[in-house]
Amino acid sequence: MLKIKNLFYKYPDGTVGLNKVCMEIPSERTFVILGESGSGKTTFLRCLGRFLVPQSGSISYYDEDIRKMDNKKFRQTIGIIFQRLHLFPHMTILKNMFLGPVKILKRDRKETEKEAYEMLERLGIPDLADNYPSQISGGQAQRAAIARGLMMHPKIMLLDEPTSALDLKTTNDFATWLKELKEETTFIAVTHDIPFAKRVAQHGICLDKGKISSSGDINKIASYMSTADY
């Protein structure tokens, strides 16, 4: 269970990105964050991913403050995949995948390489192993980035606009694929895509100017958003 209490983040230029956000996200459930552009969605993920330090409020995972976790434990708790996937362009997908576990978790290289292969196989993309990021499609890169993130076995994975570069069919395939993975990882996905949100999740929140404007059942949030002319 991830608990967020009164999270407040103000950028150095004075823009308030998040204004006292509170929520609880149960484990083993995909959760979506909706809201119009500039409402604070990426700011929220960046705070959860420890890229930004909130001025006040708290984020805890099973009552442990995520800010106080050491790097290794944190990386095994929360993974983040940005909209620009940040796959290393000069390394094959396989190497992209085993770098984190070897460097950060100090795992054995051979063993990790084997696990990376198995992970790609399990995720249905074994043929990507020896490709470089520039040699694969947007949808494949999205999967490869998630495969790499999963190599750290995080309890929670944050996804920022995972379908923005994908066409409708790839988005639908991706939604199916994500649902199969949710048994082991809690996904928190920021998205503009309401049909995708409805396919992958039952619950979520909508942000508006850094505050939660609605929360709970995704259908309810979506109907509220359409009446608010989102």
Ligand X SMILES: Nc1ncnc2c1ncn2[C@@H]1O[C@H](COP(=O)(O)OP(=O)(O)OP(=O)(O)O)[C@@H](O)[C@H]1O
Binding site for ligand X (CB under 6 A): 11, 13, 15, 17, 35, 37-43
**Of 42 and 186, which CB lies nearer to Mg ion in the complex structure?**
42
**Interface mask toward Mg ion for 35-74; x: CB under 5 A:** -------x--------------------------------
Q: Binds 13, which of Mg ion, ligand X, none (CB < 5 to 8 A, cut-off by type)?
A: ligand X
The Cβ-side half-sphere exposure at 83, using a 13 Å CA radius, reads 14
Q: Does 191 engage in binding with Mg ion (CB under 5 A)?
A: no
We find the least distance from the C-beta atom of residue 77 to ligand X, in angstroms, to be 22
Tell me phi and psi for residue 42, to 5 degrees.
-70, -35
# binding residues, Mg ion (CB under 5 A): 1
We find the least distance from the C-beta atom of residue 38 to Mg ion, in angstroms, to be 8
**Of 96 and 142, which CB lies nearer to ligand X in the complex structure?**
142
**Of 39 and 171, which CB lies nearer to ligand X in the complex structure?**
39
**CB burial of residue 89 (10 Å; 0-12, 13-18, 19+):** exposed
We find the least distance from the C-beta atom of residue 15 to ligand X, in angstroms, to be 4
Q: Which two tokens stand for residue 5?
A: 């209490």
We find the least distance from the C-beta atom of residue 39 to ligand X, in angstroms, to be 4
The single residue listed with the structure tokens 């993974």 is 79
Interacting residue ranges for Mg ion, rule: CB under 5 A = 42
